[in-house]
Amino acid sequence: MNKLHPDVRRFKSFLEKNPQVVKAIRSNKITFQSCYEQFILLGEDDVVWKDYMETNDTNKEENSHPIYSKMLNKIASIDINELEKHIYEWNGAIDHILNLVKQYQANNTESNTPKRTVRDPFSFQIKD
């Protein structure tokens, strides 16, 4: 059923095992035709492929979790003095909001509580 030439099947499996070669082809570092020709002429154990293997090993941790590398880059670019300034400003804003809420609650509780008239405990009327 598979009508591909055995060399093409080997090259296809080689590319599946080595995605860094595919990345090099897609980034135009090497053409697909020259890559295939080198594979056929030199084989998959040639020194030419070690360049691609080494770059894959060094970037393995970065490629496995791109979110972590992005976060680390962002954290590294943060200016600590600017961060401290922003935290101080936010702290002041939160303090003002809390003071407003306390004032509102104090005004609200004073207006909602019914005022009792204090009666003298010794003054009472006797009803017949």
pLDDT in tens, 24-70: 888 888 888 988 988 888 888 888 888 777 554 445 544 557 788 88
- What is the model's pLDDT at position 120? 65
Contact 44, 14 (CB under 8 A): yes
Highest average pLDDT, of 55-64, 82-91, 111-120, comes from: 82-91
- The pTM (predicted TM-score) of the whole model is 0.41
Average pLDDT over residues 101-115: 76
Cα separation, 60 vs 64, whole angstroms: 6
Query: 39 vs 2, 20, 56, 78, 101, CA distance in Å?
Result: 21, 15, 18, 46, 73
